Amino acid sequence: MKKFIGNVMASIIGFFIAMFIVFFVMLGIIGAIADGLEDRDDKVKIKDNSILELKLNYPIIDRTIKNPFKDIDFTSFESKKKLGLNDIIKAIENAKNDEKIKGIYLNVSSLQAGLAAIEEIRNALEDFKKSGKWIVAYSENYSQMAYYLASVADELYVYPEGGISFLGLRTELAFFKGLLDKLDVEVQVIRGRNNKFKSAVEPFMYEHMSDANREQITRFQQSMWKHILGKISESRNIPVERLNLIADSILIQNGYDAVNIKMADKVMYQDEVT
């Protein structure tokens, strides 16, 4: 019996000693990662005639998350990395003021950002060009928003069998009233009589878009599209009327079409660019 109790006590003590060691090892690892994050700017050494590559291949959020474990899904151990808009803008500003950096290589093959974030990055790139430095953009397939961002570049390249999605803007809405009626579910909506433009509850009230909601969505979409076309027209020297025709007629089927209508400068493979 004494031997059994001794073995149990030894096992318990061994367990706590092991946990104690693991705790301090993990603490050391976390501390090393934190120090690395704090000092990473100091460790970057830029050589003469360097190029800043902006590879926007992760979702872009407002600010970078400093917690190194925030980007890890511990259930699947997959990375959920995100890019901070603040760090992207800072990198562009630093490149503008650094004499060792001669230009920017903009890779937008997997751009994941809203129009507001794209607008801020594009404005920062326009400001970067005021320094006299160049920007080159490349993608195998440009989404419409990726092309809007890339159009600020001095040279815009596309994969030969790739293309540019340039079709204009659209809105799709889902309506649930028909489903709710079949399920015999009654929705109580409180909305003033003069609030016809407050359309958040319309999917539960109607089976189609109201005239007021259609009017407001059409107006802000037209405003956004006009702004996008104006910026692309200015950068690529293509009249707005011509850009509308390209979108309406779906003139871009591959990279060669994009070059022929001046939406891109050259078809290239990625290894030819880099």
What does the pLDDT look like over 232-256, one tens digit per residue?
Answer: 999 999 999 999 999 999 999 999 9
Segment 34-43 long-range contacts (CB within 8 Å, at least 24 positions apart): 34/68, 37/66, 37/68
Cα separation of 69 and 86, whole Å?
20
CB of 81 closer than 8 Å to CB of 58? yes
Q: Tell me: do 121 and 34 sit in the same domain.
A: no
Cα separation of 92 and 94, whole Å?
5
Q: Tell me: do 143 and 61 sit in the same domain.
A: yes
Q: Tell me: do 40 and 90 sit in the same domain.
A: no
Span 213-224, pLDDT tens digits:
999 999 999 999
Element (H, E) at 12: helix 2-43
What's the pTM value of the predicted model, to 2 decimals? 0.78
CB of 173 closer than 8 Å to CB of 203? yes
In our burial notation (b when 16+ CB lie closer than 10 A, e otherwise), range 119-141 reads bbbbebbeebbeeebebbbbbbb
Please compute, for residue 149, the number of CA atoms within 13 A of its CA located in the half-sphere on the CB side. 29
Looking at residue 107, what is its pLDDT? 93
Q: Tell me: do 105 and 136 sit in the same domain.
A: yes
Q: How many domains does the chain have?
A: 2
Assign 213 to helix, strand or coil.
helix
Q: Tell me: do 151 and 267 sit in the same domain.
A: yes
CB of 207 closer than 8 Å to CB of 184? no
28 confidence band (pLDDT: 50, 70, 90): low
Assign 157 to helix, strand or coil.
strand
Mean pLDDT of the chain, nearest integer: 86
Domain membership of residue 162 (yes or no) is yes
Give residue for tokens 């006590």: 9
Q: Supply 171's token pair.
A: 């809105």
Q: Tell me: do 98 and 29 sit in the same domain.
A: no
Q: Supply 208's token pair.
A: 């189609």
Looking at residue 16, what is its pLDDT? 72
Q: Supply 156's token pair.
A: 């815009």
Span 42-96, pLDDT tens digits:
557 888 889 999 999 889 988 877 766 565 655 655 557 788 999 999 999 999 9
Looking at residue 69, what is its pLDDT? 58
Q: Tell me: do 163 and 131 sit in the same domain.
A: yes
Span 103-133, pLDDT tens digits:
999 999 889 999 999 999 999 999 999 999 9
Domain that holds residue 39: 1-44
Give residue for tokens 């318990």: 12
Q: Which residue has the higher pLDDT, 148 or 2?
A: 148
CATH number at residue 255: 3.90.226.10
Alpha-carbon separation of residue 56 from 94, 106, 235 (angstroms)? 17, 8, 21
Percent of the chain with pLDDT over 70: 84
In our burial notation (b when 16+ CB lie closer than 10 A, e otherwise), range 48-64 reads eeeebebebebebeeee
- 243 Cβ contact list (under 8 Å, min separation 6): 166, 229, 232, 233
